[in-house]
Amino acid sequence: MKSFDIRTKIYFGDNALDRLIDIPYKKVLIITDPFIRESGMLSHVTDRLQQAFIDFKIFSDVVPDPPLEKIEVGVKALLDYNPDAVITIGGGSAIDSAKSIREFSTRANGKDIALIAIPTTSGTGSEVTSFAVVTDTQNNIKYPLVSDSMLPTEAILDAELVKSVPASVTADTGMDVLTHAIEAYVSINNNEFSAALAEKAIEICGTFLLRSYLDNNDTHARKKMHVASCLAGLAFNSASLGLNHGIAHALGARFHIPHGRANAMVLPHVIEFNSGINKHSKSKKEYPKCVEKYCNVAKLLGVNNFNEITTIRALVGWVQFMNKEMNIPLSVSQCGVEKHEYMNAVEAMAEKAIADACTATNPRIPSKADVCLILEHMYD
């Protein structure tokens, strides 16, 4: 038996942030990162809370790829302040921190607290997922925590907040959206509902990701990518992800490559691995099931080709083209990682990628040797 629901109420479109004037809470902890606090963006939230006479306190000790130590500090801040809601504004790191902080606080004192998530990147979809990724810095592991109790109560989408994102972050986070949608689409847990959401997200990425990258003020493209990010989040919240994220988590934790960039670099390799077709494949019957799905993805992106093999190649080529156009490194060597250090870490990263919760729903079961080979190919 399968089921599908969307528990997070989503506010979007013009004046979506005005929802904050109507929230039924009296005391709010705002969780954000130092950049958002200092940029003045926070006033979009605080002005409205003041207008509604809602008390608030700000916790801005969020860092990228939130480490467990910072979550602990946040839990203490939340328990001390004892709010009835948390509002988080920022990228995936801020939202994931808030989700984890609320989760551990509730486990500590049993008090249910509402969570309102306001993304400022178009990337993780974390505003609608039951995932939060935290980092164990001592062991270089990124853990996806997964629990429905982490789902935000409300999400507010305002693409104006994304306009200040630097081009490199637009590229990284945009490729994260595409990877979420493609992985959900080919996941062994996919279903008609998640597929519909993923297809729309893929279609939007095909038309609007490069436009967003090329012009921060392309409001139409920004709005579309902000919605695509949320749609892809809803898709993978239902269907889960795959090996691409498993490898990206291992790579990101070990060599501090931003999450979306790591996904973008892994994507061509995982599409090739999962498809498992090559010029010696004789008939359609020999192709793994996901080949048809990848061909649909290619169709949505307008790069379908002569037959399955050439279409998969065209899809891989399109992903590489996007990476090149958006200045995403094509290999790990271009990220400044030293070869000897990287090769020494390959085996440990492969083990972590295979143990990663996301890998469980990959359409092709990878062996450690398979993942080692992918990681080795990724170097140069």
Q: Return the one option of Fe ion, ligand NAD, none that residue 67 interacts with (CB less than 5 to 8 A, by type).
A: none
CA distance 315 to 377: 18
120: left (phi over 0), alpha (psi -120 to 50) or beta: alpha
CA 178 to chain CA centroid, Å, is 9
Size of the chain, expressed as the number of residues it contains: 380
Which residues between 300 and 359 bind ligand NAD (CB under 6 A)? none
CA distance 76 to 349: 32
CA distance 15 to 299: 35
The beta strand positions in the chain, using DSSP E, are 9-11, 27-31, 55-59, 85-90, 114-119, 131-136, 141-146, 154-156
Q: Do residues 163 and 39 make contact, with C-beta atoms less than 8 angstroms apart? A: no
- Is 162 near ligand NAD (CB under 6 A)? yes
Q: Out of 151, 155, 156, 169, point to the residue binding ligand NAD (CB under 6 A).
A: 169
Q: Report the residue number, 48 or 142, with the smaller CB distance to ligand NAD.
A: 142
Q: Return the one option of Fe ion, ligand NAD, none that residue 212 interacts with (CB less than 5 to 8 A, by type).
A: none
Radius of gyration of the chain (CA): 20
- Is 221 near ligand NAD (CB under 6 A)? no
Q: Return the one option of Fe ion, ligand NAD, none that residue 129 interacts with (CB less than 5 to 8 A, by type).
A: ligand NAD
Q: Out of 120, 170, 296, 362, point to the residue binding ligand NAD (CB under 6 A).
A: 120
Which residues between 52 and 91 bind ligand NAD (CB under 6 A)? 64-65, 90-91
Q: Binding mask 129-148 vs ligand NAD (x if CB under 6 A, - otherwise)?
A: x-xxx--------x------
Rounded alpha-carbon distances, angstroms, from residue 128 to 12, 37, 77 = 13, 23, 24
- Is 361 near ligand NAD (CB under 6 A)? no
- Is 121 near ligand NAD (CB under 6 A)? yes
Q: Return the one option of Fe ion, ligand NAD, none that residue 64 interacts with (CB less than 5 to 8 A, by type).
A: ligand NAD
Partner residues linked to 119 by β-bridges:
90
CA distance 316 to 183: 14
Q: Could you identify the residue written with the tokens 């893929």?
A: 202
CA distance 263 to 179: 7
CA distance 272 to 286: 15
Checking DSSP bridges between strand 141-146 and strand 55-59, what pairing results, if any? unpaired
Q: Report the residue number, 256 or 377, with the smaller CB distance to ligand NAD.
A: 256
We find the least distance from the C-beta atom of residue 245 to Fe ion, in angstroms, to be: 6
Q: Report the residue number, 124 or 275, with the smaller CB distance to ligand NAD.
A: 124
- Is 183 near Fe ion (CB under 5 A)? no
Q: Out of 37, 49, 83, 93, point to the residue binding ligand NAD (CB under 6 A).
A: 93
- Is 124 near ligand NAD (CB under 6 A)? yes
Q: Report the residue number, 40 or 110, with the smaller CB distance to ligand NAD.
A: 40
Q: Out of 8, 23, 33, 56, point to the residue binding ligand NAD (CB under 6 A).
A: 33
- Is 176 near Fe ion (CB under 5 A)? yes
- Look up residue 95 and give its two tokens: 């939202």
Q: Which residues would be at the binding site for ligand NAD (CB under 6 A)? A: 33, 35, 64-65, 90-94, 96, 120-121, 123-126, 129, 131-133, 142, 161-162, 164-165, 169, 173, 176, 259-260
Q: Which residues would be at the binding site for Fe ion (CB under 5 A)? A: 176
